[in-house]
Structure 1
Amino acid sequence: MSVNSKIVLAVDIGTTSTKTLAVDREGNIHGSHSIGYPLHTPSPGYAEQDPVVIYEAVLDGVAHVMKQGAWTADDIVCVTFSSANHSLILLDAEGRPLTPSITWADQRSALQAERLLNDGTGLPIYSRTGTPIHPMSPLVKLIWMREERPDLFHSAHLFVGIKEYILNRLFGIMVMDHSIASATGLFNLETLTWDREALLLAGIREDQLPRLVPTTERINGLKKEAADRMGLSKETTFIAGAQDGVLANLGIGAVDDGVLAVTIGTSSAVRTAVNRPTIDPEGRLFCYALTQDVWIVGGPSNNGAIVAQWISDRLYPGQSMEEIVPLAAASPAGSNGLLFLPLLSGERAPFWDAQAKGVMFGLTLSHTETDMLRAALEGVLFQIAAIVSLMKQSGEKHKEVRASGGFARSTLWCQMMADMLGVPVRVPLSVESSGLGAAQLGLYAMEGCKGSLLRWKETEGKLYEPDETKHKMYQRLLPLYLSLYDRLKEPMHEISKLQHAPERIL
């Protein structure tokens, strides 16, 4: 690193794309590039990606941004990572993938998750690891793999996630940061080590997992071929980084008491910062690491913009989602008495039920397309409101929401969120929350982790104040909305059997 170095490269490895940002020391973005890739769903329950394609996206994204800004290696303070959670890749002894990257959205281990919840095994594991028992969890995926694909399971040399695979390709080392580890269901929050009981349950050994490192760990020794591809030096310092969710909180300044971060991208999540590991007695909220002194508590929902895209495609085929969403303003708050449970791909928080299904409730001949559209958007926000309610039960208070993700560009959706939650919603000028958080963490690491986490001067952005009348209506509707799931859970599970294996009920 040169004394004149001025740019941090933040690489955000997401579910649908990898985005690379060039960020200066004041938090200004000077360049960005996004490379998309497919999510493969060849059969019900599958959600996989090609790790080699994602690795190539990392190399090409960095190279593009370097050329875009005409940067040289001496301009780069460091390269730092944000990454999606819960992926699992089995590697052979040479570090080659034996499986695709099995993503958080994969549902094949639903039966194993249900068994852990029902036999009393799951809650003690959660209480030590902070990862709710669900098919998203690598712990549950490993149990599924051992039981259903023993050939692959027993031939594997290492079990890693997508970021660990990429770091190994770049440096020839196998490390996992505490933040990603804290979302595996295998990591003990108190000892910051792999949890012995969880490893026994998964059927793996500690030496089959990456070495654990802090999120601020500096990594050097970049392979020459990778350095050349990206336009960097072999001496360029990389920072291990963290998961995208906790970095989103940092990136939008939601690390203060009473400030919630809500991210709605393909899926959605609600998060708040605490100063030590905190768990929900019933195992409904996650607790993930940012640094040793900052932990993020919250809940993820499977349902976000994917729901808006689904209903837009069916009601308004051929039009873009950006054109469609504003049409929901023609329907009043409450969608004229129409409720939509947007559980199209099962659900994580607040229900943690992989077999949950979507429901349109209250439909009459008088309802219109815009009522159905608004009900779908409100359904996503009802899920968020339910997670916020869980966090209140755990003692977390909120006075403001910081919004990020693609939905934050929608004036209608942000105003609906303020009305739903009854608190102001602030949208920072930049919604690149995870990438900016990664850049902040990178600078903090390069400066020796001294003092508190780096805080850039906050940009106010747009503020949405709640409409009290609409908030009261949503408060009346929320208990009814939640009761629908409780009453329909059993038939949802029955119809799931028909959808996945019709012969079971014939």
Structure 2
Amino acid sequence: MKYFIGVDIGTTATKAVLFDEKKVQVCKSEKGYKLYRDVTGKAEEDPEEIFLAVIETISKLTKILNQNDELLAVSFSSQMHSLIAMNKNWEKLTNLITWADTRSDKFAQKLKAQPDAQGIYERTGTPIHPMTPLSKILWLRGEKNEIFEKTAHFLDIKGYIFWRLFAVNKIDLSVASGTGLLNNQILDWDSELLSLSGISKDLLPVIVSPYEYEVSIEQGFAEEMGVSKQTGFIWGAGDGPLANLGVSAIDTGQVALTIGTSGAIRSVTEKPQVDSKGRTFSYALDAEHWVTGGPVTSGGDVFRWLQEEIFEKKYSFDDLTTLASTVPAGSNGLIFHPYLGGERAPLWDADARADFYGLNYSHKPAHLARAILEGIVFNLSEVAEGLGEINEIFATGGFTQSELWLQILSDIFDKPIKISQSSEAGCLAAVIMAEKALGLTSKLESPENVVRILQPIQKNVIIYQELSLIYHSLTVQLQPLFRKISNFQKKYSN
């Protein structure tokens, strides 16, 4: 038998999936790790923990292969916008600074105030925000200058993994397109932004095709993972663009909607495409496929907050969704804006803060739970307004395990929701890219894996259409207060 392994380096866990040559999922391995947060906006991870998670998840899968089986390739999906600073001896100067880190907000705000801010967005396809490596580098230069001056290499997490395995210094086009430093017209680092950041091109990795692959892995790692030294490790792409490919949402009018730790909604175009209101990004899947959409910081992590911090782990995820299902659509007029960690799309405001609006004596824990689920989807529907006409929605991510959440999605969007067989769309898409990289196919094509279609409930649609107007109006009115309350919190937080 011949197999592929797709690896997804996520924010809270690395997942590896073994597929046969017909792209049927055989088994999965997963390893979690800690996201280190504090009141300053820090959101870091230990890159070595993630590296070990990659090793472990792959090794668990190869153990089930027989001696005569062939592993054709290992291919990667990874979180975007991450940054690690390393010195000239390739020693870490920082942990992995993730997309969720907002400490560079002051520098992002200064960048937004520049006359060329819209031009920066249009050249890079990346909204100006603390999530981007561009903002993080400006922050390091401005507030961590002792680190900045010692930095000889800036890597993302996938680049770090490949550097450890193959001693190469590269970044794939897809991940590079989310750095805020890539000029999407010339597909190279933007010279003006390099100058603005105070760095030279040689501090950044070499940009390579998502179809490039490495062989001749270091012998010790090959043995530990149970792979041949000549097994191809495909660079692959970022997790957002790959999610569209994994669920076959690559034609006009098709969108992929993902909710995991965070969330996103995306569609595919042939060329980079930006929004006149700056609500969306435009990232590469490869040079011929560009994914337009918006990532929301507020996804499943918000529901986890409810579970752990408010209900103190008294309820499981299933318990909470069951509880939420006991109250009607609209949560009896309770609205939740899910901006616990600031927000990316559609606001691009690290100072955004969450709120429950409409609370009264009738509201119980079940209403809070349902309002949070609804608020996350309302937020995604606001992002969707920047994508043009939507004909089909393909759902992927951990939230597809919740029937209630899927129904809320269908009702708020008033569209049928197509649910894929595999929730690991990123791993599947990485394998599809591996096939093209190895010359086994000439085009990107995902297997038909829609197992069912969920239809909207019209009485709920009517309720949500009315409530969405209030949700949007509240967002507009609250935005001027976000920075004030954020500054207050920073001033008085312990």
Counterpart position of 1:280: 275
What is the alpha-carbon distance in structure 1 between the residues aligned to residue 457 and residue 47 of structure 2?
Answer: 46
Aligned Cα root-mean-square deviation (Å):
1.5
Q: Does structure 1 residue 488 correspond to structure 2 residue 478? A: yes
Counterpart position of 1:437: 429
Q: 8 Å contact 1:8–1:79 — kept in the other structure?
A: yes
Q: 8 Å contact 1:176–1:213 — kept in the other structure?
A: yes
Write out aligned runs for 1:247-286 (5 A): 247-286=242-281
Q: Over residues 214-260 of structure 1, what are the superposed CA-to-partner deviations in whole Å (9 max), with x where a residue is unaligned?
A: 10112222111211111112111111110111111111111122111
What is the alpha-carbon distance in structure 2 between the residues aligned to residue 241 and residue 128 of structure 1?
Answer: 23
Q: Greater shift after overlay, 474-483 or 149-158?
A: 474-483
Q: 8 Å contact 1:73–1:232 — kept in the other structure?
A: no
What is the alpha-carbon distance in structure 2 between the residues aligned to residue 183 and residue 11 of structure 1?
Answer: 19
Question: Secondary structure at the residue paired with 2:361?
Answer: coil
Q: Does structure 1 residue 7 correspond to structure 2 residue 7? A: no
What is the alpha-carbon distance in structure 1 between the residues aligned to residue 205 and residue 346 of structure 2?
Answer: 31
What residue identity is the alignment partner of 1:324? L
Counterpart position of 1:379: 375
Write out aligned runs for 1:87-486 (5 A): 87-313=82-308, 314-315=310-311, 317-392=313-388, 397-447=389-439, 450=442, 452-456=443-447, 458-486=448-476
The Cα shift of 1:72 comes to 5.0
Q: 8 Å contact 2:124–2:184 — kept in the other structure?
A: yes
What is the alpha-carbon distance in structure 2 between the residues aligned to residue 138 and residue 71 of structure 1?
Answer: 43
Q: 8 Å contact 1:72–1:232 — kept in the other structure?
A: no
Q: Greater shift after overlay, 112-121 or 299-308?
A: 112-121
The Cα shift of 1:193 comes to 0.7
What is the alpha-carbon distance in structure 1 between the residues aligned to residue 446 and residue 241 of structure 2?
Answer: 15
* Sequence identity percentage: 39
What is the alpha-carbon distance in structure 1 between the residues aligned to residue 237 and residue 248 of structure 2?
Answer: 16
Q: Does structure 1 residue 502 correspond to structure 2 residue 492? A: yes
Q: 8 Å contact 2:59–2:226 — kept in the other structure?
A: yes
Q: Over residues 272-330 of structure 1, what are the superposed CA-to-partner deviations in whole Å (9 max), with x where a residue is unaligned?
A: 11111111123220101111111110001011111222223314742211211121111
Q: 8 Å contact 2:254–2:391 — kept in the other structure?
A: yes
Instruction: Label 1:162 to 1:50 Cα distance change in 2 as closer, same or farther (>3 A).
Output: same
The Cα shift of 1:97 comes to 1.3
Q: Structure 2: 5+ residue runs without aligned partners? A: none
What residue identity is the alignment partner of 1:415? Q
Moved over 3 A (4+): 71-74
Q: 8 Å contact 1:73–1:236 — kept in the other structure?
A: no
What is the alpha-carbon distance in structure 2 between the residues aligned to residue 200 and residue 462 of structure 1?
Answer: 51
What residue identity is the alignment partner of 1:148? E
What is the alpha-carbon distance in structure 2 between the residues aligned to residue 222 and residue 71 of structure 1?
Answer: 21
Q: 8 Å contact 1:66–1:72 — kept in the other structure?
A: no
Instruction: Label 1:72 to 1:124 Cα distance change in 2 as closer, same or farther (>3 A).
Output: farther
Q: TM-score, normalised by structure 1?
A: 0.95
What is the alpha-carbon distance in structure 1 between the residues aligned to residue 80 and residue 371 of structure 2?
Answer: 29
What is the alpha-carbon distance in structure 2 between the residues aligned to residue 379 and residue 351 of structure 1?
Answer: 14
What residue identity is the alignment partner of 2:168? I
What is the alpha-carbon distance in structure 1 between the residues aligned to residue 134 and residue 490 of structure 2?
Answer: 23
Instruction: Label 1:387 to 1:72 Cα distance change in 2 as closer, same or farther (>3 A).
Output: farther
What is the alpha-carbon distance in structure 1 between the residues aligned to residue 65 and residue 232 of structure 2?
Answer: 19
Q: 8 Å contact 1:98–1:152 — kept in the other structure?
A: yes
Q: Structure 1: 5+ residue runs without aligned partners? A: none
What is the alpha-carbon distance in structure 2 between the residues aligned to residue 304 and residue 390 of structure 1?
Answer: 19
Q: TM-score, normalised by structure 2?
A: 0.97
Question: Secondary structure at the residue paired with 1:82?
Answer: strand
Q: 8 Å contact 1:73–1:231 — kept in the other structure?
A: no
